[in-house]
């Protein structure tokens, strides 16, 4: 008899405390482990620390310091197998106009029901298998990361107008 799989860990990155709390609560109730980050740079720090293997990143798009799209670009570069699910309450034309939309990454529109969040999380995990090894052993050894000056200058640090 096979041992049950450990619960998957989801990193929730959202600068709105109420949204982050509600998303985290829904995920925990469904049996997921949850790590939280208050903005993109904090999410990046969780990933770079490697202290918690992450199976999925649920990420808001419009955030201060580092937006969700830029965080996703970094994740795709350093952890290419790690699935991402964007969440946003902004209209699609706004996201496109500010280069925040990536049609290759699923987008769940706010507001959403917990049941729809859980469906989207399962779909995102199923697309690539949600393997923890993608975060435990990055494919880019010795990278300087997003916190180094060249990448920090990539983003102005302010929200789109």
Query: What is the total residue count of the chain?
Result: 161
CA terminus-to-terminus distance, the chain: 56
Topology classification of domain 9-152: Rossmann fold (3.40.50)
Quick one: tokens of 133? 């090894």
Quick one: tokens of 15? 């600068």
Q: Where are the domains positioned within the chain?
A: 9-152
Residue 160 is inside which H or E element, if any?
none
* Whole-model pTM over 0.75: yes
pLDDT tens column, 106-152 = 999 999 999 999 999 999 999 875 444 333 333 333 333 434 333 33
């Amino acid at each position: 008899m096979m041992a049950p799989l450990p619960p998957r860990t989801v990193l929730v990155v959202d600068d709105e405390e109420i949204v982050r709390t509600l998303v985290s609560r829904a995920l925990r109730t469904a049996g997921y482990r949850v790590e939280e980050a208050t903005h993109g740079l904090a999410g990046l720090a969780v990933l770079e620390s490697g202290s918690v293997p992450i199976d999925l990143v649920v990420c808001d798009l419009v955030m201060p310091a580092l937006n969700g799209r830029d965080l996703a670009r970094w994740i795709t570069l350093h952890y290419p197998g790690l699935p991402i699910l964007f969440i946003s309450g902004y209209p699609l034309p706004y996201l496109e106009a500010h280069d925040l939309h990536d049609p290759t990454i699923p987008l769940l529109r706010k507001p959403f029901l917990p049941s729809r969040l859980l469906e989207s999380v399962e779909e995102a995990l199923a697309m690539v298998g949600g393997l923890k090894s993608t975060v435990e052993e990055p494919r880019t050894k010795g990278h300087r990361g997003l916190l180094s000056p060249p990448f920090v200058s990539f983003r102005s640090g302010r929200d789109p107008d």
